Structure 1
Amino acid sequence: MKNIKNIISFIIMSIVLFSCEEKGLDNQDWLQEPNFANPLTLTLSSKDVVLIDENTNENAITFTWTKGNDRGEGTNLTYFFRMDILGNNFSKDIDDVTKKTVITEEIPVGVFTKSYTVKQLNSILLKHFKRPGGTLTNLEVQIIAQVNGGTQYQLPEVSTSSFVATSYSLGPLPLFMVGDAISGSWDYSTGKSLPEITERSIYTYVGDFSVGSFKVIEEPGSELPSYDPAAGNTIVYNETEPRTVDNVFKVTEAGRYSFYMDIEQKTYVFAKAPYPNIYMVGHAIDGIGWDIGKAKPMDWDAKNGVFSYKGKFNGPAGIKDYEGFKLFFKAGDWGAPCLMPKVTHTILIPDADAVPMYFNNTVSGDNKWDIETTGNYELIVDPVKMTIQLNKL
C-alpha cells in the first residue's frame, strides 16, 4: 500500500523539479498535460447503479478503458484504477491520513477492464466508505496510465468519470457469546451480546474472560447455528454439529481480552488487551505538547490486537528544548502508569523492527521516546509483546 501511495503521489504531480541547465528550455513540452488525437478514455457500463440483495453475485458495474498512447522508444505504461466519493478529489486535499478514502489498485499487464459484483460494491460502500445501507452515494472513478522508462519524465494520461450507487441493507444480525469463559455457564439463554460494528460483518468485544471456553451463537437459547473456530484463525458457520472440545473458543488464562470476528471474511482474532486505553502526550504529538489534559488517545485495533495511531508526529526541528513523547494509561494524570523506553530519548526509527518497552507503575522515571524527523507516521503499540513501532505513511 505504501508503494502504491508513493507511485500515485509521483504520477499525479503537476510540477517536477529538474535542473533547467541539465534539460534545457527545449524540453518544456514534456511537462505539459498529454494532448493526443485519441486520448485514454474510461467508459462505465452504467451511470446509475441500484444494488439489490437478491442479485449479490451478479455484475453491478464494469469499467473499461482504451489503451494509453505510445510515449516513444524505451517506455511502457502501467495502469492504476482509483475510486473515491465524488468531491473528495481522490483525497488530494485531505491532510489527515486517517480520513483519506481513496481506493487505489494497480491493474495487471494487458487488462483493460474492471468489474464489481453487487456484493463487492455494496461491501465497499458499507465497509470502506462507511455509507449506511439504503443510501445514494456519488462516486468518482479514474484510470491513470503511468509512463515508465524513457529519457525524461512524462506526465500520465488520466481519464475520470463518475456514477451513482445505491446500497442495500440487510439489517442488523445480533450475535451472542455463551460459555463458562464469558457468561459463567453453558446455559444458552444467558449469552452476552457481541457488539456489531459493521452490518452483518464485523463484531468486536473487549472485556474480562475466565478460564474455559465459549461459542458465538445467533439466537439466545439455541446452540445452533453458531460460528466456530477453525484452523488458521478462521471461522466456520455451523448449523448441525453439537458442541465439542474442538469447536469452541478456548481461554487458557483469565484476563482482559479483545475478540474480533469478521463473518464475511471468515476470520477472527482473540488476543489479550490488558490496558483499557493508551494516551500520547509530548512535543512529538502534533497540537498537544506537554499538556496532560489534552493527551491524545490511541485507537484500539481489534483486528490486530494492538493500539495504533496515524497522523502527524513532530521532530525536534523548530521546537525549543524538544522532549519527544510519553505514553500514559490515563489522561489528565501525571501519576498514572505509563509505558517507557529503557533508555530516555530513545529514537523511534521509521519502518524499523519493533523495539521493547516496559511498564512503569510508579511516578519515578521520566524516559521519553523521540521522533527524528517531522512527518506522517503510524505508531503501533503491542501491549502483549510489550513493543512499540513507528512506520512511515
Structure 2
Amino acid sequence: MKADRLLIDCHAATMMEGGAPYGVIEDAAVVISGGRIAWIGPRVDLPPVQAETTERLDGRWLTPGLIDCHTHLVFGGDRSGEFEQRLGGATYEEIARAGGGIVASVQATRAASEDELFVSAMARLEGLKATGVTTVEIKSGYGLDLDSELKMLRVARRIGREGGVRVRTTYLGLHAVPPEHRSDRSAYVDKAVDEILPTAHAEGLVDAVDAYCEPIAFSREEVSRLFDRAQTLGLPVKLHADQLSNGGGAELAARYRALSADHIEYATEAGIAAMARAGVVAVLLPGAFLMLRETQAPPIALLRAQGVRMAVATDCNPGTSPLASMTDALNLACVQFRLTPEEALAGATREAARALGLQDQAGLLQAGRAADLAAWDISRPAELAYWLGKPMLHARWIEGVRS
C-alpha cells in the first residue's frame, strides 16, 4: 500500500460506537492517502505500507479533529459592558429590550470593514484551533441588512480559505429585529426571507439557515416562513430553540427535520420525543448557560432516554458566550450538565459532525473519512474534559496536512 503519511506509536480514540469506550485502539497506526484515512487499526495488524512520511507520536493520543458546530465567530466590537450590567443584576431580556444585546453588536458589525471583521474573528479562532478544532460553523446574524449579512458571510468563507480550518456557514436571518424595523418587524421578516436569503444563496455563501425562536426574538410563524424558503432553496435548517422559555422550538425544529435544535434548556418531554423521531441533534451550549447564570439545565436525562444525539459547542459570541476554547466547553458540559467525558468528546466530534450534516465525512477516525485529526499530550481521553486552561494539543491535521 502506498500512502502520503503514516502515523504510528500512538493510541486512537476513534469515537466509533458499539465497542470499547471512546472507540479506543491501543498502539494504533493510521495510514493517510489523498487527504483521507486509508487504514486505521492496531499497529500489529498494519499491512505493508510505503509512506512518503512516517511520524512517530511517542505514545500520544489521536482523536478526530474537534468540531465547533455553533459559533457566532464574526462580529464587531464586544459587549463587556453588558457583562458588568448582568453582574449588577440586569437580566439578558432587560438589556435586550433596552436596545442592548444583539442590536448593539449589529451596530458595531455594520460599522466594521470586512478586513476588520476578518482580523478580529481570526484572533478568536486561534483559541479554537489551539484546542483541537479543525471544523467550525460560523453564523451571520449581526448584520441584519443585505450588505452587512453578505459581508459577514464573505468573511466566514474567507476564514475557511485562509484560517486553517474547515468552515460551514449559516445564515442566521432571524436573530433580532434591526433598529430601523422596530416599528414594522414584518417588513424585516419579508426582507430576510425574500431578499437576503435568496441573494446570499445565489452567491454561494450559505450552507444552512438558522433562526432565534423566543418571545424576545421571533415567533414560530415567522421562523416557519424563513424555513419554508430555505427548503425551496434546498438548504438544511437549524434553530436556536427553547433557551429562555418553552416556546415550542424543539417541536418546530422536528417539524422541519432540522439538523439541530440548539440550547433547549426549556424543551419539554414532547419536544424531545419529536426531536428523537425526526433525528434532530441537540446542541448543548454550556458557555451561554454559565455566562447567563441560568439555573434550568437542558433535559439531559430525557435526551438520553429518547436516544437524542447530543453535540457540544462553544456558542462563541460577544454577548452571552465569550468562549473560545473547545476543551473548556467540554469541561463545562460535564460539570454543569453532567455529561460524561465520553459523551462530551463525542459531542465535539461524532455528534457535532451530525449537527452540521457532515456525519459521512468527519467526526470519526475511520477508513474513508477525511484525515482531520488532533494529537494530544494526555494519558487518557477523559483529560480533554478534565483540564481547564491547560495546553494539551500537540498537532492538528486537515486532510492529512499538518496545520
TM-score, length-scaled by structure 2 = 0.24
TM-score, length-scaled by structure 1 = 0.24
Between Structure 1 and Structure 2, the one with more helix by share is 2
